[in-house]
Amino acid sequence: MSQADLNAPNLFDLSNRVALVTGAGSGIGQRIALGLAQCGADVALLDRRTDGGLQDTADAIAATGRRAIQIGADVTSGAAIAEAVARTEAELGPLRLALNAAGIANAEACENMSEEQYQTLMDINMKGVWLSCQAEARAMLAHGQGGSIVNIASMSGVIVNRGLNQVHYNASKAGVIHMSKSMAMEWVDRGIRVNSISPGYTATPMNTRPEMVHQTKEFEDQTPMQRMADVNEMVGPAVFLLSDAASYCTGVDLLVDGGFCCW
């Protein structure tokens, strides 16, 4: 075994790899985008608004010495995602890493939910992940250098959150988990790994929505670790799955939930 093989920290090194992160203007996507840069990657930052947090993410990455570009695009548009991937490769180089975090959440009793509310969420949370993976994998298959994709699902794809009426959200996240496994198997012999991360309750703007705020204490009580996750705690799992440290992991859903699903 060579010394390089024994040099464990290098397993997580993302130097000179190009990454695309969706939902990079806020919350989990924003923090992971910075984390990838801190491990050496150059990062294309995609979000639907260019007047949100994208500039902050780009500034934080610039401070690490890595390159970042900002892309305003809606993940429900296949053409927009394809253009984003093309721009990423033209400006930063061959796409090797992708982290798909763009998503929304809202709540309504199933019997009262409108078709529009259901469909809008499904289009972003599930079709948006499929379109993102499709465009990212097309680029990875074309350049032949391999790639690693991580989709942000949720523990809501595994359990039903007590007190939250969000049948569409829970179903969309179960869909992301199984879609990730399905794509992992389609590309397993062509150098692309696909995994998902399922966070538990995490302190982000998504959880400041009105139906959540009064429940924060309950969420903490229901979690074995007795607290919500900090976005910083999503970086390690994402870097692990995207890096060579996870070279034998594909089709995995990694629960990062403070033990929630054990109870």
Give the nearer residue to ligand NAP in terms of CB position, either 89 or 123: 123
Catalytic one among 118, 169, 201, 248?
169
Pair 19, 84: CB distance under 8 Å: no
Q: Closest by alpha carbon to 72, among 46, 110, 53?
A: 46
Give the nearer residue to ligand NAP in terms of CB position, either 49 or 143: 49
Provide the minimum distance between the beta carbon of 29 and ligand NAP in the complex, in angstroms, as a whole number.
Answer: 6
Q: Count other Cβ atoms within 10 Å, centred on residue 194.
A: 28
Q: Count other Cβ atoms within 10 Å, centred on residue 213.
A: 9
- What residues contact residue 61 under an 8 Å CB cut-off, 6+ apart? 33, 34, 37, 43, 45, 67, 68
Provide the minimum distance between the beta carbon of 261 and ligand NAP in the complex, in angstroms, as a whole number.
Answer: 12
Indicate if 201 belongs to the active site.
Answer: no
Give the nearer residue to ligand NAP in terms of CB position, either 59 or 244: 59
Q: Which residues bind ligand NAP (CB under 6 A)?
A: 22-23, 25-29, 47-49, 52, 74-76, 101-105, 124, 128, 152, 154, 199, 201-202, 204-207
Give the nearer residue to ligand NAP in terms of CB position, either 202 or 243: 202
Strands 147-152, 18-22: pairing is unpaired
**Element (DSSP H or E) covering residue 80:** helix 78-91
Nearest residue to ligand NAP, scored by beta-carbon proximity: 27
Supply the residues annotated as catalytic.
169
